[in-house]
Amino acid sequence: MASEIQNGKKEFSFTWRIENISYSWHKTGDKIISPAFVVGSMERTCWTLRLHPRGRKNEDYMSFYLYREKEDKGPEKISLNYELSFLTPDGSPVDKDAPKIKGSFAKNMSYGHPRSVNRDEIFVHKKHLYLHEDCITVYCRMWKGEGTICDSQQAFARTRIGVQHVSMVEAFQPKDKILPLVPIFRAQKELTVNISHGNEMLSVDVASMEKGIKYTTCKLSVLNSTGNVVCENHSSWFDEDVKELWRYPIPPQKYDPNSDTLCLLCEFSFSSGIDYEKIEEIKYGIHLLRPILNNMSKSNFSSGPNIVDDLKSLYDKGILTDAKIKTTTKIFPVHRVMLYARSSKFRMIFKNYTKEKNVLIEMLDLEEDTVKRLLLFLYTDTVEDLQWEIAAKLYYAASKYQFLKLKGLCSSFLINKLNATNASQLLLMADTHKDSNLKRVAEDFILKYDEQIFGSEEWDTFTDAQPQLAAKTMGLKYKMNKDSKKIDRPPLTKITYGSIVDDLKFLYTSQTLNDVEIKTKKTTFPAHITVLSARSPVFRELFQTSMKESVEMEDVEDDIVRRLLLFLYTDVMESLQWKIAKSLYCVAVEYKVERLKIKCSSFFMENMNSTNTTEILVLADQQQDLDLKENVEKFILRNEREMYGSKEWVEFAEKNPDLAVHSMLMKYRKNT
C-alpha cells in the first residue's frame, strides 16, 4: 500500500485571475507574466504562466503559454502532462474538451498556443463565459504518474492592472461663440484636457502630463436636452507621450440651436501598469478537490445587505430614532449615533445630551431639500443629482456642521463646474468658510482666465459687493513668477476623509455615546442600539419590544462577540480559522445577520476538502440553511469519487444515514 501511494499520481494546479484585463496596454508580442511558482513534487521546477492579451504574433488572438523558468533546481529536462484552459465565472472550463498534452520541458522553454482564443470571443461574442467584472481567469493543471493521487497541491494567484476612471459633465449653449471650458482634469496629474466650442465644432486637446501611463481610453458624447446623442467619439492610445487633438462637428439638425442646452460627457480611463501581483493561497493534501472560483451559486446567494443598505433601511422606516432635526418646513427623525459618528461638531453637541431622548436640533438656516440630501449622505455616503446651487448649499451645511467628507465631495463637484461666470461665487464661498484649498483653486483659475473674468459683469457685481476680496485677488496677479506664471507659495494641504465605515469604526472603538451593553460570562461590550438594530432583525425586534440596557450572550465566547460587533460596525471580517468560522456562522444564523452568514458560508466553501465537507453538511442541516446545504451537496456531486471513497464519508454515513442518502440522491434528482 505504501509503495502504491509513493508511486501514485502527483498533481499540481495553478489558477490565475487577471483583473481589468480590457485595460491591458500590451501590444502584439507583449505578455503578462504570472507570479512564479515552484512545484516541489515535480523535482522543484519553477514555472510561470504567460498571457499575450493581443497575441504573440496575431493581434486578433489571445495567446496562453506554460513556461519553465531559466533558473530552477530541477533537472535539465522534465516530462509531464499538462492542460491549459480559460475558466468561466463559476470555475468550470470554457472549453470542456481542452487537450491534455504530454511534453518534455527544458529550462527556459514554453508550450502553449499562439491562437488560444479569438479576442472577439472574449470581449464580444462570449463575454459572459470568459469575463466577470472585467476579470479573466486562466487555469493550468500539471501531473506526473498514473493511478491514485498521492500528492496534490493547488495555488491561487491574482494580478491586477491598475486603472483610474475620471469623468466630467459640462453643459453649454449651442449659440455660444468660442466658449472655453475649464481644463477637465486639472486636479489630476495624469492628463490635461481642454475643450472649446464654436461655429458648430467641438475641439478637444488631450495631453499626458505624467510619465508612466500605459494605456488610455476616452469616450466623448454630446447629448441634447432629451438625452439623445448628438455626436460621439471613442479613442484609445498606448504609452505615455500622447498629444491628441480632435475636431468634430455638432450636427445642428439634431438639436434646437435657439433653446437647447447641450451636455458634454467626458469619460477617461487610464492604466499605469500592474499595481498588484501575488500568489495569495496554496493548498496541500492528497484529496484536494477541484477549485470553485464562484463558490456560492448566484441563483441562491447574493452578497447580502451591506452596512449602508441596513442603515438606510432603518432611516427610511424611522425605526428607533432618538433625535430630530428641525427646519422651517419639516422635522426629520434621525439617530444620534449617526450624527455623532459623522460630524465632529455633533460630537461636541452630544457631550451634553448623553441620556436625553428625542433631542431637537434646529437647522433653521437650511432648506428642507438641503437637509434631506445631507441625511442621505449621512446614512449612505452618497450624494445624488448635484447641480451648482444644490452643491453650494450642501457645501455650506457640510462646512458649518463639519461633515468633512461631504464638504470634500461638494468642493470637488464645484471645482469641476468652475467657469468664468461662477468663479467669483466660489471664491467668496471659500473665503467665507476659510477653506484655503478651495480658495487657492478659485484664485488660480481666476488668474489663469483673468482677461475674461475681470472684464465680465459678474466680476463687476462681485467687486461692488466684496471690494476688499476682489482687490486682494486682483493684486495676486502682480505676485506671479514671470517664468512659471504662477505664484510661489506652499503646496495645497492634503486632506483625507473617512468613509462611513471609518466613522462607524471610530464610534465602536471610542466606546462613546453607548446606550446598550452585550454581556458574556466574562466581559461587557459597550454598543449602540442603532447599529445593532440596523444589522440584525433579532436585535431590532428586541429593542422595539423593550428598550433594554443590556443583552445577555453568555453562551458565546468573548472572541466571537468581539468579531461579531466588529463586523456589525464595519462589514469587516477578520482572518478566520475553521473553528472560529463555525462559531461565528452559528451566531450569524441566530441573530439573522445575513451578510455575515454568507461570508462564513463562503469561507467554508473556499476551504472545503474531503475531510471537512460532511462537517459543514451537518452544520447546514442543523441550522436549516438550505442555500449552504445545496451548495455543499453540489460540491460533493462534483467530486463524488474523492468524497464517497473517503473514510470521513463512511463515518458520516453511519451516524447520519438519512442525510447521507439524501445527498447521494442529488445526482439522480439532477438527472430527472
Q: What is the pLDDT of residue 631?
A: 87
More confident residue, 68 or 8: 68
Give mean pLDDT, residues 543-558: 90
Give the model confidence (pLDDT) of 551-595 as tens digits.
999 999 999 999 999 999 999 888 788 899 999 999 999 999 999
- Give the pLDDT of residue 286: 41
Contacts (Cβ under 8 Å, ≥6 apart) of 13: 139, 140, 141, 142, 153, 154, 155, 291
Could you tell me which residue, 85 or 347, shows the higher pLDDT? 85
521 or 258, higher pLDDT? 521
Q: How far are the Cα atoms of 300, 626, 644, 649 from residue 660, in angstroms, in the given order?
A: 22, 15, 10, 8
pLDDT at 528: 94
Domain made up of 162-275: CATH architecture: Sandwich (2.60)
User: In the structure, what pLDDT confidence band is assigned to residue 305 with cuts at 50, 70 and 90?
Assistant: confident
* Confidence grade of residue 304 (pLDDT, cut at 50, 70, 90): confident
b/e sequence 365-386, b meaning 16+ C-beta within 10 Å? ebbeebbebbbebbbbbebeeb
Look at the domain 502-668 and name its fold. Potassium Channel Kv1.1; Chain A (3.30.710)
| Half-sphere exposure at residue 527, Cβ-oriented, CA atoms within 13 angstroms | 29
Cell of 95: 472549453
pLDDT at residue 300 in the model: 44
3-class SS string, 27-41: CCCCCEECCCEEEHH
Classify residue 397 as exposed, middle or buried by CB count within 10 Å of its CB (0-12, 13-18, 19+): buried
pLDDT for res 649: 86
Rounded Cα–Cα distance for residues 380 and 393 (Å): 19
Exposed (0-12), middle (13-18) or buried (19+): which is 184, by Cβ within 10 Å? buried
Region 351-370: mean pLDDT is 82
Q: How many CB atoms lie within 10 A of CB 488?
A: 8
- Convert the pLDDT of each residue in 111-149 to its tens digit: 998 889 999 999 888 888 898 888 999 999 999 877 666
Provide the b/e sequence for 554-584 (b: ≥16 CB within 10 Å): eebbeebbebbbbbbbbbebeebeeebbbbb
Q: Span 11-151: which CATH code?
A: 2.60.210.10
Contacts of 223 (CB under 8 A, 6+ apart): 229, 230, 262, 263, 265
Reported residue count of the chain is: 672
Q: What is the mean pLDDT of the chain?
A: 83
pLDDT in the model for residue 210: 58
| CB neighbourhood size of 459 (10 A) | 21
Using CA atoms, how far apart are residues 219 and 268, in angstroms rounded to an integer? 7
Q: Give yes or no for residue 198 having a pLDDT over 70.
A: no
First and final CA of the chain: distance in angstroms? Answer: 40
Q: Using CA of residue 460, residue 462, residue 466, residue 468, what is the dihedral sign?
A: negative
Indicate the DSSP class of residue 93.
B
| Share of residues in the chain with pLDDT > 90 (%) | 44
CATH number corresponding to 307-482: 3.30.710.10
User: H-helix or E-strand containing 486?
Assistant: none
Q: What is the pLDDT of residues 331-345, one digit of tens each?
A: 999 999 999 999 988
CATH 3.30.710.10 positions along the chain are: 307-482, 502-668
pLDDT band at residue 193 using 50, 70 and 90 as cut-offs: low
Write down the pLDDT at residue 301: 45
Query: Cα–chain-centroid distance for residue 277?
Result: 17
What value does the mean pLDDT take over residues 474-481?
A: 80
Orientation angle between helical segments 368-380 and 307-316, nearest 10 degrees? 140
Q: Which helix (H) or strand (E) holds 520?
A: none
Report whether 222 contacts 262 (CB < 8 A).
yes
Percent above pLDDT 70 for the chain: 80
Query: CA-to-CA distance for 442 and 494, rounded, in angstroms?
Result: 17
Residue 293's pLDDT is 37
Indicate whether this model's pTM tops 0.75: no
361 compared with 246, residue with greater pLDDT: 361
Helix axes 657-664, 613-622, angle to 10 degrees: 110
pLDDT score of 354: 57
The answer to whether the beta carbons of residues 324 and 358 sit under 8 Å apart is yes
- 3-state per-residue secondary structure call for 577-643: CHHHHHHHHHHHHHCCCHHHHHHHHHHHHHCCCCCCHHHHHHHHHHCCCHHHHHHHHHHHHHCHHHH
- Give me the mean pLDDT over the 249-264 stretch: 68
Q: What is the pLDDT of residues 46-72, one digit of tens each?
A: 999 999 999 999 999 999 999 999 988
pLDDT higher at 184 or 509? 509
Contact 393, 370 (CB under 8 A): yes
* Spatial contact of 605 and 295, defined as CB atoms under 8 Å apart: yes
Hey, which residues does 137 pair with through a beta bridge?
Answer: 17, 87
Average pLDDT over residues 497-508: 87
pLDDT band at 4 (very low <50, low <70, confident <90, very high): very low
DSSP β-bridge partners for residue 110: 67
CATH 2.60.210.10 positions along the chain are: 11-151, 162-275
**Cross-strand bridge partners of residue 284:** 153
569 vs 502: CA distance, rounded Å: 9
Lowest mean pLDDT of 281-295, 429-443, 520-534, name the range.
281-295
Residue with cell 505615455: 240
Query: What H or E segment, with its residue span, contains residue 333?
Result: strand 331-334
Render the burial of 267-284: b for 16+ CB within 10 Å, e for the rest: ebbbbbebeebeeeeebe
